[in-house]
Structure 1
Amino acid sequence: MRSVDTGYERPEASQGGSGVRPVDSDHVIRTAGLTKRFRGGQLAVDGLDLTVPRGSVFGFLGPNGSGKTTTIRMLMGLIAPSAGVATVLGAPMPQSVAAVLPRVGALIEGPALYGFLSGRDNLARIDAADPTADPRTRARRVGEALDRVGLTAAAGKKARAYSLGMKQRLGLASALLQPRELLVLDEPTNGLDPQGMREIRALVREVAAEGTTVFLSSHLLDEIEQVCTHAAVMSKGRLVVQGTVAELAARAQGRLVVRTPDVAAASEVLSGHRVTDLRPSEARVDGLAAELGDEALPKLCAALVEAGVRVHGFGVERGTLEDAFVALTGEGFDVAG
């Protein structure tokens, strides 16, 4: 499903110009028809109409190779689009790079670090390159950023000795050196262990609570579902759907779960009561419950018991982003958390 409301007015072609102009300031990112075609004809991003509400934690979701990083690179002015328009913080990109980027913290495609410098010195060098940064308070900013990502103890170690996860933390610290209106994170938990993932998720929530809009790219459904308020799903360079996380999950049908040793008999009863896509296993059978309401559930449980099915567990699991993604695209997905 493609978004219809792009948030842009499109004048008639006879009026000339780009044909696109922003009409509201409630969104930190807007794109209209954003397209990137590389040499050789590879279409990486195809007509993207994206809206990121101010104050949201926005999950940019899709499998590896779906066009997420290419989109982010266009939004940050690192590459020019082949067609379409992008605005960030109300300004067109890449034309307004100099005005926009000082208001944005970003971690894209992993951090670029000086291996011969310590973690602390890397941050100091990055901070010194920021024309808006006050050199008198540099040491305090660097120390606070290191502390926020859990690298204070390793601040004096050479960056080349950092693990992948530590480098990722240092890159995130560089994006947090100053308060920003927008924080753009491309796969921020890449290389982190489960504990590190939890810490970064907590940090994202903390930054958002301070008033920063967070744009978080990930191929991990669990990550998006845990921390994001809004999300967009990309597939093969195209936008599949966007909205709040709750709205996206609601697109998926709930799943009726019955735990029983009598799997075959339970499957027969369920299929006769409009429960489809059954997935029997040794002690469980589940299926999509498209039209079942709360009143139907007791009747269905009674039907199973009357048929002699031994019911050890019975209930409906809500739809998830994984269910919604598969329903919308028909594709499998990496759902590791």
Structure 2
Amino acid sequence: MAQPTAAADVVIETRGLAKQYRGTLAVDGIDLRVPRGSVFGFLGPNGSGKTTTIRMLMGLIAPTAGTARVLDRPMPRAARAVLPRVGALIEGPALYGFLSGRDNLVRYDSADPTADPRTRAARVDAALDRVGLAAASGKKAKAYSLGMKQRLGLAAALLQPRELLVLDEPTNGLDPQGMREIRALVRELAADGTTVFLSSHLLDEIEQVCTHAAVMARGRLITQGPVEELAAGTHGRLAVTGPDPAEARRVLAGFGVTGLTADGDRVTGDLPADPAAVPDLAEINAALVAAGVRVRGFGRERASLEDAFVALTGEGFDVAG
């Protein structure tokens, strides 16, 4: 678990935040801290409580218990002061289908009391260009694909410079190229000083773009901290590639490697969780050679967020990006 950070360095902080629906705890007393300037991944399977948490943070629903502070102000009490400093895309964009993409953004911008109407057209053009919708800006929103609607919702969140950007499953409905573009945009925004809070059920997405992450499961916050530390806390796996997988499995089992699986000529297994119990890789290599196992590849694989999630929760979920 990461060390606590000073209040001035935190843009989102919750204490005992909970939401109950008809006797069911959707969010179960979470203590969340999002560092300023981070790209913070809010990770968990669908139904784990991510969207409910975000809705409480944005003042859309009231918590059953606990407190939430966003940009050092209490939510939902300070929503009027906080929300103009936040861009958000939650549960997909709300669009007027009979209006063009451009006209939808004009409506969004007109509803912002802080937006200067004299520069509205320039802001709308810049937002459309940034999400790759300039060429389709005149098409009616009802004719947009799901991915195009996601882009338009993101453009609405980017009409003004924001201190905090909250994105709930922002790559939903996008093709692989669209996913890469949105991830690149998130990195650009972070480089410009915007804190990005990104929820996703895609482990690969979090690992590629986020500096920090929190893991949710069944309404509970399992862990949080820098992405590298979360992955480093997992023991990792050992892999051996060669034409003698059965013999390789027998040697590895003798060194306490567990969960051994073979995929063609590649054998992988879990190293012991206790660092003191991890065998010397040189000794394993020597034992493979002594047993006559032919080896084309051998080494320890870097632990991933998938490994960390499975180790923490015993569950798995989508990892594709």
Question: Normalising to structure 2: TM-score of the pair?
Answer: 0.96
2:151 & 2:13 partners in 1: Cα distance?
28
Q: Does 1:311 align with 2:295?
A: yes
Alignment match of 2:57 (pick from 75, 87, 93): 75
> After superposition, where does 1:139-178 map in structure 2 within 5 Å?
139-178=121-160
Q: Does 1:251 align with 2:251?
A: no
Q: Does 1:32 align with 2:19?
A: no
Counterpart of 2:283 in structure 1 is 299
Find the residue that maps to 1:124 and give its secondary structure: helix
| Contact 1:115–1:158 (Cα < 8 Å) also in 2 | yes
2:25 & 2:2 partners in 1: Cα distance?
22
**Amino acid corresponding to residue 85 of structure 1 in structure 2:** T
1:176 & 1:4 partners in 2: Cα distance?
30
Superposed CA deviations along residues 106-144 of structure 1, whole A, max 9, x for unmatched, are 000000000010000000110000000000000000000
How far is the alpha carbon of 1:289 from its aligned partner?
Answer: 2.3
Q: 1:292 to 1:24 in 2, by over 3 A?
A: closer
Q: Does 1:47 align with 2:33?
A: no
| Contact 1:118–1:159 (Cα < 8 Å) also in 2 | yes
Find the residue that maps to 1:25 and give its secondary structure: helix
Counterpart of 1:236 in structure 2 is 218
1:4 & 1:298 partners in 2: Cα distance?
33
1:6 & 1:263 partners in 2: Cα distance?
46
Higher deviation after alignment, 185-194 or 297-306: 297-306
| Contact 1:6–1:32 (Cα < 8 Å) also in 2 | no
Q: Does 1:130 align with 2:91?
A: no
Superposed CA deviations along residues 135-180 of structure 1, whole A, max 9, x for unmatched, are 0000000000000000000010000000000000000000000100
How far is the alpha carbon of 1:279 from its aligned partner?
Answer: 1.1
- Structure 1's unaligned 5+ residue stretches are 8-22
How far is the alpha carbon of 1:296 from its aligned partner?
Answer: 2.3
1:5 & 1:226 partners in 2: Cα distance?
23
How far is the alpha carbon of 1:6 from its aligned partner?
Answer: 6.9
How far is the alpha carbon of 1:5 from its aligned partner?
Answer: 7.1
Could you tell me the percent identity over the aligned residues? 74
How far is the alpha carbon of 1:294 from its aligned partner?
Answer: 10
2:280 & 2:159 partners in 1: Cα distance?
55
Q: How many residues align?
A: 319
Q: 1:5 to 1:304 in 2, by over 3 A?
A: closer
How far is the alpha carbon of 1:25 from its aligned partner?
Answer: 1.8
| Contact 1:6–1:50 (Cα < 8 Å) also in 2 | no
Q: Does 1:331 align with 2:315?
A: yes
**Amino acid corresponding to residue 25 of structure 1 in structure 2:** A
**Amino acid corresponding to residue 320 of structure 2 in structure 1:** A
Question: Normalising to structure 1: TM-score of the pair?
Answer: 0.92
1:5 & 1:33 partners in 2: Cα distance?
18
How far is the alpha carbon of 1:41 from its aligned partner?
Answer: 1.0
**Amino acid corresponding to residue 35 of structure 1 in structure 2:** A
Find the residue that maps to 1:99 and give its secondary structure: helix
Alignment match of 1:200 (pick from 173, 178, 182): 182
What root-mean-square deviation, in Å, do the aligned CA atoms of Structure 1 and Structure 2 show? 1.7
How far is the alpha carbon of 1:330 from its aligned partner?
Answer: 0.4
